[in-house]
Amino acid sequence: MALSDRTIQGAKPKTLKNNDGTTRLADDWLSDGGARGAGRLYLRVQPSGRKSFFFRCVGPSGERQALPLGEYKQSGARGLTLTAARDAANALTALLRSGVTDLRAHLEAEQREREREREAADEADRQAKANATRGTLRVLIAGYISGLERAGKIDWKDAKSVLRLHVIEPFPDLVDRKAAEIKPADLRPVLARLVDAKKGRTAGKARSYLHAAYAAAIRADFDPDAPAALCGFEIESNPVTVMPSMAHHNRAGQRVLSELELRAYMAKLPEQTIMTRLALELDLMLGGQRPTQLLRVKAADVDVTSNPGEIVLLDPKGARRQARVHVLPLVGRARELVTKALALNPMGPLFSNGADKYGRPIALRMDTLSSAVTEMSRTMVKAGEARSSFSMRDIRRTCETQLAAIGVSKDMRGQLLSHGLGGVQDRNYDRHGYWTEKVTALRGWERRLKAVAKGKKATVTPIKRAETA
């Protein structure tokens, strides 16, 4: 009897008796009829209530084959109507009559061919998309950021954030154009948008990062050490070069803490958590080092077995490809602080803030220190101990100002604070340069901090490079 929607909807699985007299449900198969030897459409009714169409026929070796067609759905949504199932069965019957003896193998071969065609189409689509994006400003920016990160540049996250928020997201059509085709006039709206929003300093950053990205791509075509991600853009000139530097939007900070403010700041350090206090106090005792460099220090980078001890910082700042080794003596209180940190963290980061799920120590984060200084600044302003807010950068500027006040020369301050040391000698040979002078300067600096804490005035003792014979 031919199937109908009515009979299908009323169809139920078989009820069979077990040997113990109980019953169980089993599949039932309902035929839609068909010519003998040409296969038939069947409906399978399962105990779960699911109803599915199958095409049953005889294989080349006389074995029975049941080829699934799809689940029955009267509406046709996510399944087959009875009419659609009959059409599929008729197509399979036609194949049998055309001489196809192994219907299953034939259908599997067709499926494999369809999959190959789909994969080829997907690959062609991927290639087309790759070709469309190759050489775009978006790809150039990604390659530039990746290069900064691999080189260990401290500003790579800032570059990523600035370029994403102020170039990529607001100007999607621009960044999807070929980088080599972009003109200065195309980039002007990027910077103008920031200037109009009173974000001149950010505009200066965006210009600087874009200029550096283009410069890196131009240089990469001739540099065998350049990353592959920066090659092949075929850029002939840097469109950012002719754009104003916007230096007037990026004035150097001027905030310097007075001696009274510095005293109040030092008095608040013991209120911080142990690791934050040790890091901030050591930064101060070392003359105001860049905190990002201090937080990279590992236990293996310090030596407190001798007096003075030694701490090795890595300075990746600037255009240098390899971070410059910056060695400082550990004298007095600085040596004590490092010894305490080592007792807490004998392995891994010198300043650790807990451990990950594998038990590995996690280095103290820069934003933890920044937040601590910001909170101390806020408290001091509220208490009338500071005339205005300040940041870690202002602490570093204060240290250098105070170092100058006690007679530490400019070149010596450069050696202590790793300012502008990019010559061949500084990069490669002078690992312990100015050692004696550094010891003298830092001992004088510690005395000065103790005097500030007690409210005493500075004593000026000029500290310069010792004369060599």
Rounded to whole angstroms, the Cα distance separating 317 from 289 reads 13
Q: Which two tokens stand for residue 307?
A: 């007096």
> Could you tell me the pTM of the whole model?
0.55
Q: Which amino acid is at 430?
A: D
Rounded to whole angstroms, the Cα distance separating 201 from 179 reads 24
Give residue 174's pLDDT.
Answer: 95
Q: Which amino acid is at 321?
A: R
Give the Cα-Cα-Cα angle 252, 254, 258 (nearest 5 degrees): 155
Q: Which amino acid is at 236?
A: E
Burial of 266 (0-12, 13-18, 19+ CB in 10 A): middle
Secondary structure of the chain in HEC code, one letter for each residue: CCCCHHHHHHCCCEEEECCCCCEEEECEEEECCCCCCCCEEEEEECCCCCEEEEEEEECCCCCEEEEEEEEECCCCCCCECHHHHHHHHHHHHHHHHHCCCCHHHHHHHHHHHHHHHHHHHHHHHHHHHHHHHCCEHHHHHHHHHHHHHHCCCCCHHHHHHHHHHHHHCCCHHHHCCEHHHCCHHHHHHHHHHHHHCCCHHHHHHHHHHHHHHHHHHHHHCCCCCCCHHHCCCCCCCCCCCCCCCCHHHCCCCCCCCCHHHHHHHHHHHHHCCHHHHHHHHHHHHCCCCCHHHHHCCEHHHEECCCCCEEEEEEECCCCCCCCEEEEEEECHHHHHHHHHHHHHCCCCECCEEEECCCCCEEECCHHHHHHHHHHHHHHHHHCCCCCCCCCHHHHHHHHHHHHHHCCECHHHHHHHHCCCCCCHHHHHCCCCCCHHHHHHHHHHHHHHHHHHHHCCCCCCCCECCCCCC
Q: Residue 189 to residues 163, 186, 192, 197, 203: CA-CA distances in angstroms? A: 14, 7, 5, 12, 11
CB 406 within 8 A of CB 461: yes
Domain boundaries, the chain: 5-101, 137-249, 259-454
Rounded to whole angstroms, the Cα distance separating 83 from 3 reads 10
Phi–psi pair at 168, nearest 5 degrees: -65, -55
Give residue 425's pLDDT.
Answer: 42
Q: Residue 299 to residues 294, 303, 363, 454, 460: CA-CA distances in angstroms? A: 11, 9, 11, 33, 35
pLDDT tens sequence for the chain (469 residues)? 789 999 999 999 999 999 988 999 999 999 997 666 688 999 999 999 999 999 999 888 888 889 999 999 988 888 899 999 999 999 999 999 998 889 989 999 999 999 999 998 888 777 766 655 689 999 999 999 998 888 877 788 889 999 999 999 999 999 999 999 999 999 999 999 999 998 888 999 999 999 999 999 999 888 888 888 898 898 999 999 998 877 655 555 688 999 999 999 999 999 999 999 999 999 999 999 999 899 999 999 999 998 889 999 987 655 555 667 889 999 999 999 999 999 999 888 999 888 888 888 888 988 899 999 999 999 999 999 999 999 999 999 999 999 999 999 998 999 999 875 544 444 444 555 689 999 999 999 999 999 999 987 655 556 665 544 3
Rounded to whole angstroms, the Cα distance separating 195 from 285 reads 39
Q: Residue 346 to residues 238, 350, 352, 364: CA-CA distances in angstroms? A: 49, 7, 10, 15
Beta bridge partners of 29: 44
Q: Which one, of 361, 394, 17, lies nearest residue 351 by Cα?
A: 361
Phi–psi pair at 329, nearest 5 degrees: -75, 150
Give residue 397's pLDDT.
Answer: 93
Give the Cα-Cα-Cα angle 99, 103, 105 (nearest 5 degrees): 115
Measured in Å, how far apart are the chain's first and last C-alpha atoms?
Answer: 116
Beta bridge partners of 170: none
Give residue 218's pLDDT.
Answer: 92
Q: Which two tokens stand for residue 71?
A: 């689940």
User: Treating both helix axes as pointing N-terminal to C-terminal, what angle do 156-163 and 137-150 enclose, rounded to 10 degrees?
Assistant: 160
What is the CATH T-level fold of the domain 259-454, as seen in this structure? hpI Integrase; Chain A (1.10.443)
Which CATH architecture describes the domain 5-101? Answer: 2-Layer Sandwich (3.30)
Rounded to whole angstroms, the Cα distance separating 403 from 438 reads 12
Cβ contacts of 129 within 8 Å, gap of 6 or more: none
CB 139 within 8 A of CB 227: no
Beta bridge partners of 44: 29, 52
